[in-house]
Amino acid sequence: MNLAEIEAVKARAVASAMDAANAQDIEAVRIEYLGRKGLLPQIMKGLKDVAPEDRAAVGQGANALKNALNAALEKRLSELKANATHEGAPSAFDATLPGRWRACGTMHPISLVIEEAVRIFSRIGFTVAEGPDVETGYRNFEALNTPDYHPSLDNQDTFWLESGELLRTQTSPVQIRVMEKQPPPVRIVTPGRCYRRDTTDATHSANFHQIEGLYVDTDVSLADLKGTLAYFAQQMMGPDVNVRFRPHFFPFTEPSVECDFTCHVCLGKGCRVCKQSGWIEIAGAGMVDPRVFERVGYDAEAVTGYAFGMGIERIAMIKYGVPDIRMLYDNDVRFLTQFR
């Protein structure tokens, strides 16, 4: 047997050792190669037939075969021993047993909606801006053209703190922070937590999440706003969803609109979800009031802009069919694990 043949035998022998399923297999492999009638003694016997100049090399090869196989058998035996201590007796191959790998966790539905919304707006050039939950009355109200005698300044709706600050009632103060810091253009979305003194029920929660958007530039129109919200609606709720505007009032936009999305369940035919109207109210929006621009030092003659805001919980409830906002804050594992 020449050296190449011996190498081939070695490879085969080590492979059988690694495949051994139990101690009996290992013993069988050992006997096959190293036993008295095994392959190795035969090779040794055949040495005398090898050309003298090759004899030493072939002898070393045979020795290496022996060492390698012994090592492989020993390693396999200890593996099998270790396995046996962890899992009991080796069993027959059963592909129907449950798979064994840790499953991924799940994202909270509120985070799911926030991250999805941010991704959608990122695709059209919006970046995220954030601000603190504890805000000044100035940024939460006054800078947003909400005069100091506006009803929403009432203790009824706002959590004022002993420090004289408040828990922001909307994420709009972030818009003010950004505009105070940065000249136009501005193209931001602001997801975040807000607070209002609502008594908790199936659709109200004293803390909730909003995402707002602001785009300020030299020539921004209501039509741009409508197109942007239509794009968002389709990306978020489905390709057949459209938007419509209804006039409304917000202190910091003029004109102001409320934006309805086509009901994604019935696609406008009318169903229980949309109370038969075919539409679902989702967003408040409008063109930034020039008085807001003046507050932050922008030239209200030179720039225009739109702003919009949406409730995250509301979108989550509508999109996933969650009937009660309190479920979002109850954190029952059987609820959480549904949002994969």
Partner 1 sequence: MKVPVSWLQEYVDLDATPQELADKLTFSGIEVEGIATIGSDYAGVVVGEVRHMEPHPGADRLRLCRVFNGTEELQVVCGATNFEVGDKAPFAGVGVTLPGDFKIKKAKIRGEKSFGMLCAEDELELSDDHDGIMILPHDSIPGTPLSDILGPPDTVLELEITWNRPDCLSIIGIAREFAALYGTSLKIPEISLNEGTAPISDFVSVTIDDAAGCPRYTARALTDIKIGPSPLWMQRRLSMCGVRPINNIVDVTNYVMLECGHPLHAFDHALLSENQIVVRTAASGEKMATLDGVERPLTSDMLLIADSEKPVAIAGVMGAAGSEIQADTETVLLESACFDPRRIRRTSSTLSLSTESSHRFERGVNVETVDWASNRAAQLMQSLAGGFVATGILDVYPGKREPRQIKLELARMDRLLGVSAGVDRVVAIFESLMIPVVEKSPETVTVEVPAFRLDLDIEADLVEEVARMYGLAHVPDIIPQAKVVPNACDEPSRAIFSCRDKLIGLGLHEIMSYSFVSESLLNIFTEEDQAARVLLPNPVSADHGVMRNSLIPQMVECLGRNHSRQITDAALFEIGKVFWKDSEGAVNEEDRVCIGLMGKVGCGELEKRRTVKPDEVFLWAKGVVEALVSAQRLDKDTLRFTPAEHPYSEPGEAVTVKLGDTPLGVLGLLRKDLRHRHRMADPVAFAELPVTPLLGSVFTNPVFHPIPQYPAISRDVAIAVDQNVSHSAILKVIHEAAPVELTGIDLFDIFTGEGVKRGTKSLGYSLTYRSFERTLTDEDANGYHEAIKDALKRELDVDIREG
Token digits of residue 8: 């081939």
Pick out residues in 27-86 that bind partner 1 (CB under 8 A): none
Task: Give the range of 3-11, 31-39, 46-54, 200-208 binding partner 1 by CB under 8 A.
Answer: 200-208
**C-beta of residue 219 within 8 angstroms of C-beta of residue 156:** no
For residue 134, give every residue at least 6 positions away whose Cβ sits within 8 Å of its Cβ, in sequence order, or none.
Answer: 161, 163, 165, 166, 167, 168
| Residue of 121, 316, 197 whose CA lies nearest to 129 | 121
Q: Render 105-131 in DSSP notation, one character per residue.
A: ----HHHHHHHHHHHHHHHTT-EE---
| Residue of 42, 44, 37, 33 whose CA lies nearest to 9 | 33
Q: In whole angstroms, how close is the CB of 270 to Zn ion at the nearest point?
A: 6
Pick out residues in 237-266 that bind Zn ion (CB under 5 A): 263, 265-266
Pick out residues in 302-331 that bind partner 1 (CB under 8 A): 304, 328-331
18 binds, among partner 1, Zn ion, none (CB under 5 to 8 A by kind): none
Q: In whole angstroms, how close is the CB of 41 to partner 1 at the nearest point?
A: 26
266 binds, among partner 1, Zn ion, none (CB under 5 to 8 A by kind): Zn ion
Interface residue with partner 1, options 33, 141, 195, 308 (CB under 8 A): 195
Q: In whole angstroms, how close is the CB of 23 to partner 1 at the nearest point?
A: 18
| Residue of 311, 310, 307 whose CA lies nearest to 144 | 307
Secondary structure element (H or E) that encloses residue 244, with its range: strand 243-250
User: What's the rounded Cα separation, in Å, for the pair 129 and 201?
Assistant: 30
Query: In the complex with partner 1, which residue's Cβ is closer, 32 or 244?
Result: 244
273 binds, among Zn ion, partner 1, none (CB under 5 to 8 A by kind): Zn ion
Task: Give the range of 1-9, 13-21, 65-73, 240-248 binding partner 1 by CB under 8 A.
Answer: 240-248
Pick out residues in 138-157 that bind partner 1 (CB under 8 A): 147-151, 153-155
Q: In whole angstroms, how close is the CB of 116 to Zn ion at the nearest point?
A: 21
Pick out residues in 263-282 that bind Zn ion (CB under 5 A): 263, 265-266, 271, 273-274
**C-beta of residue 194 within 8 angstroms of C-beta of residue 134:** no
User: What's the rounded Cα separation, in Å, for the pair 183 and 230?
Assistant: 27
**C-beta of residue 145 within 8 angstroms of C-beta of residue 251:** yes
Interface residue with partner 1, options 22, 35, 136, 159 (CB under 8 A): 159
Interface residue with partner 1, options 6, 26, 110, 144 (CB under 8 A): 110
Q: Render 159-196 in DSSP notation, one character per residue.
A: -B-TTS-EE-SSSHHHHHHHHHHSPSPEEEEEEEEEE-
User: What CA dihedral angle connects 154, 203, 127 and 239, to 10 degrees?
Assistant: -140
- Give the interface size with partner 1 as a residue count (CB under 8 A): 94
Please give the span between the terminal C-alpha atoms of the chain, in angstroms, as a whole number.
61
CA dist 182 to 172, 302, 306, Å? 16, 16, 17
Query: In the complex with partner 1, which residue's Cβ is closer, 36 or 149?
Result: 149
Pick out residues in 261-300 that bind partner 1 (CB under 8 A): 287, 289-291
Site string for partner 1, 210-229 (x = CB under 8 A): -------x-x-xxxx-xxxx
246 binds, among partner 1, Zn ion, none (CB under 5 to 8 A by kind): partner 1
Q: In whole angstroms, how close is the CB of 263 to Zn ion at the nearest point?
A: 3
Interface residue with partner 1, options 133, 136, 203, 327 (CB under 8 A): 133
263 binds, among partner 1, Zn ion, none (CB under 5 to 8 A by kind): Zn ion
User: What's the rounded Cα separation, in Å, for the pair 268 and 263?
Assistant: 5
Catalog residues that contact Zn ion under the rule CB under 5 A.
Answer: 263, 265-266, 271, 273-274
